[in-house]
Structure 1
Amino acid sequence: MSEALAGLGLFGVGGFLCYLLCWVVRWAAPRVGLIDTPGGRKAHKAPTPLGGGVAIWCAFVLVLGLGTAWVALDLPMPRGVADYAEGSLLRVGQLWIIVGLATGMMLVGLVDDRFRIDWKPRLGLQVLAAVGLIAAGAQITLFGPFGWAPVRWAVTLLWVVGLTNSFNFLDNMDGLSAGVGLIVALLFVGAQIAVGALFVPAVLLVLAGALAGFLVHNSAPARLFMGDAGSNFLGFLLGALTVVGTFTRDNPDSDFSPFGALAPLLVMAVPLYDTISVILIRLREGRSPFQADRSHFSHRLVERGLTPPWAVRTIYLVTLAGGLGALLLHRLDGWGASVVASQTLCVLGVVAILELSRPKRSGESTDSPAPAPSTTTG
């Protein structure tokens, strides 16, 4: 019970602090030129402050710093929490390396929000940050032939850089990137608590709280955007925390299945689906994968008739539907894990089929055949 109350406290403090900091950012952002103006592919109706990512970062770092100092100074805490405090100090060094690298990504995004940076140096800096993460000992845990060190390094690099860009891609509608980030953070908390891990879930709860506080300002109609500073920070941090998080146990006497290591793939299915589909669309059209447009999952749902708020809610539900199975993987054998993974793939398959369907024209009968393609040229 004390652990649950401590977790709710971390979530609540992070959320309330971020909510307050967002008011500060909304006041300060226009005064330093952090404004996103409508026009072109941007559908919002009025100039909107950027910099919400700075509020998320600041709330997260402040709560994490206070918690670290509290444990280091051996200040009073609930008995159930105190039992884990000494062990958490063994991992705090690696945690702050991750926070430092994520802060670097936030600063790159902040400069991009203000002055615009070409995608090539941005991608190069993301790769350098991921290499720094690997050098600090944070690597994806794989089993079988995939446990070979170079394979682990390559997968970790692709995972962290991929998620950094995935959440940047998702930041295209009010409440979308932060809402999906909140959902996946809570799913990761559940998946890791299920195998007895508490340190990384505690960190994720602080992040989830900060995202919840930001969403008060970012839900439609948004009064504040997180900007690239927020999406870069969120994607890199979630990627790094899932790398160092515990989804299974290597103890041969443990009842936990090694297939729990697949939990991040299920939880991140929607961000990965959006990223891969957008890249394929842009490459097929002969454009750069990093050229911003309106080909994202959310935009395609709007083209099918949903309003932007309902498109965002739909993506929330698909994220949950695809990721809930991750909470069971630690108890499943190979057959059970295959069933759960197949269920997530089926959810994405249904989404893809619905996306490929032709939008019904106004006044068109639902049972009328599609018009034959015209052979007229010119």
Structure 2
Amino acid sequence: MLLQITQYFTLFKISILGFVTAFVVAMLLMPILIQLIHRFKLFDIPDLRKEHTQPVPTMGGIAVCIAMVAACLLWIPISRDLFTISFFFSIAVLFVLGILDDLHNISVRNKFVIQIATASIIAFSGVRISHLNGLLGIYGLPVIFQYIITIVAITGVTNAFNLIDGIDGLAGGLGFMSLMMLGLFLGLGGDNTSAVIAFALAGALLGFLYYNFNPARIFMGDTGSLLLGFVVSVLSIRLMQLNIGQKQALLPHVPVFTLGIVLIPVFDTMRVFSLRMWRGKSPFTPDKTHIHHLLTTNGWSHSFTAKLLCTIHGLVLLLSYFLKDVPQEAGFAVLLLCMLLTAFIFERIKVPHYNPPKKTLVDSVEK
């Protein structure tokens, strides 16, 4: 057993160093960033979409991004391969986009254009969903569909993490768990560069979460949530590619497993968009119908809500792994039913004796 532990440590040594480095850098940078944000009054102002009632420092994603990149530069060998160049260029573009959006609220249309452009860069670098592993009887995909599905997937997951970043610790907690799982299997599959990226961002998020759990001293902002969703989506596709051409697949049900990695943010986004359109509204209309709002509007605290959703995410990750012995279509159905049941229960459980605040005239006018 000691030999096995030694082998695993050797395999993940660089990833562990990347994790620790990013964690330390994030912990050191976050207090400095909070002071600067207070000095320049760069606060997240409450509005109809948001849960907090007082201005809170935002753009914690700056420290997260710097910590991740610093760890990657330190522990990933310098490489000129197309994926590495494309990935870090895209990160830089999204980093600037996130800062500008946190400062000036860039239009949804312009954000989508930039996100589609960065997703396209990744797809053209060779990181594409090219194989569905037998899901619905489909294996290899025509090249044009590879590009379309990849760009839609990266853009969709990036926005899903952006949209679920609504209460303290939620997006960071979900992202941390997903990245740890991705880093583990990417390392086992021999993709050491991607594994280090996953563990580095996970370490940076852990340092951020120390300052973000309720009551939050700083939010990650779009600077962090766009980075998080983008990295998770790209690394999920890298994980899918590891199965191609191998005699013994690392994850025989990899489409189901990667769905589990992003299930809560993606399900929540699709659910909320569907409800808004059903009611005749734009899918981007601000409201409080996200899955975490189902609990907070019923009297549950932000802290409890975030911890409960992170616990459910952990159970989903375990379930998505152990579904490897069932048909992939059944695995998809099981995960979907789990989320439908979760949303159904969340809508109906209230804090005992909780009376929701009455709507004011201002609330009615806003809605």
TM-score by length of 1: 0.82
Summarize the Cα distance change of 1:343–1:113 in structure 2 as closer, same or farther, 3 Å threshold.
same
Listed as ranges, the matches of 1:1-378 within 5 Å are: 1-68=9-76, 71-72=77-78, 89=79, 91=81, 93-143=82-132, 144=138, 147-246=141-240, 248-251=242-245, 253-254=247-248, 256=250, 258-328=252-322, 332=324, 335=326, 337-338=328-329, 340-357=331-348, 362=353
Shift of 1:339: 5.2
Cα deviations by residue, 1:231-259 (Å, 9 ceiling, x for unpaired)? 11111121122222356433463254542
Summarize the Cα distance change of 1:96–1:353 in structure 2 as closer, same or farther, 3 Å threshold.
same
Helix, strand or coil for the counterpart of 2:247?
Answer: coil
Shift of 1:342: 4.1
Structure 2 Cα separation of the partners of residues 247 and 346 of structure 1: 27
Shift of 1:173: 0.4
Helix, strand or coil for the counterpart of 1:138?
Answer: coil
Structure 1 Cα separation of the partners of residues 46 and 186 of structure 2: 41
The answer to whether the 8 A contact 2:176-2:205 is kept is: yes
Helix, strand or coil for the counterpart of 1:288?
Answer: coil
Cα deviations by residue, 1:262-318 (Å, 9 ceiling, x for unpaired)? 321121111111111111122123222223221111011223342111111111012
Aligned residue type for 1:26: I
Aligned residue type for 1:357: R
Aligned residue type for 1:199: T
Summarize the Cα distance change of 1:172–1:37 in structure 2 as closer, same or farther, 3 Å threshold.
same
Shift of 1:145: 5.3
Summarize the Cα distance change of 1:114–1:207 in structure 2 as closer, same or farther, 3 Å threshold.
same
Helix, strand or coil for the counterpart of 2:341?
Answer: helix
Structure 2 Cα separation of the partners of residues 35 and 276 of structure 1: 29
Equivalenced residues, count? 342
Shift of 1:95: 2.0
Summarize the Cα distance change of 1:362–1:288 in structure 2 as closer, same or farther, 3 Å threshold.
same
Structure 2 Cα separation of the partners of residues 2 and 145 of structure 1: 34
The unaligned stretches of length 5 or more in structure 1 are 73-88, 365-378
More displaced stretch, 264-273 vs 129-138: 129-138
CA RMSD of aligned residues (A): 2.5
Aligned residue type for 2:83: Q
Structure 2 Cα separation of the partners of residues 257 and 15 of structure 1: 29
Structure 2 Cα separation of the partners of residues 131 and 205 of structure 1: 24
Structure 1 Cα separation of the partners of residues 123 and 61 of structure 2: 25
Structure 2 Cα separation of the partners of residues 190 and 268 of structure 1: 16
Residue aligning to 1:80: none
More displaced stretch, 149-158 vs 280-289: 280-289
TM-score by length of 2: 0.85
Summarize the Cα distance change of 1:196–1:327 in structure 2 as closer, same or farther, 3 Å threshold.
farther
The unaligned stretches of length 5 or more in structure 2 are 1-8, 133-137, 356-367
Shift of 1:346: 3.3
Cα deviations by residue, 1:51-93 (Å, 9 ceiling, x for unpaired)? 101111111111111224xx34xxxxxxxxxxxxxxxx475x4
Structure 1 Cα separation of the partners of residues 14 and 123 of structure 2: 31
Aligned residue type for 1:49: P
Bigger radius of gyration = 1
Aligned residue type for 1:4: F
More displaced stretch, 30-39 vs 169-178: 30-39
Cα deviations by residue, 1:108-158 (Å, 9 ceiling, x for unpaired)? 121111111111111111111111221222211314355111211111111
**Identity between Structure 1 and Structure 2 (%):** 24
Shift of 1:33: 4.2
Aligned residue type for 1:231: S
The answer to whether the 8 A contact 2:44-2:57 is kept is: yes
Summarize the Cα distance change of 1:268–1:22 in structure 2 as closer, same or farther, 3 Å threshold.
same
Structure 2 Cα separation of the partners of residues 7 and 191 of structure 1: 12
The answer to whether the 8 A contact 1:36-1:50 is kept is: yes
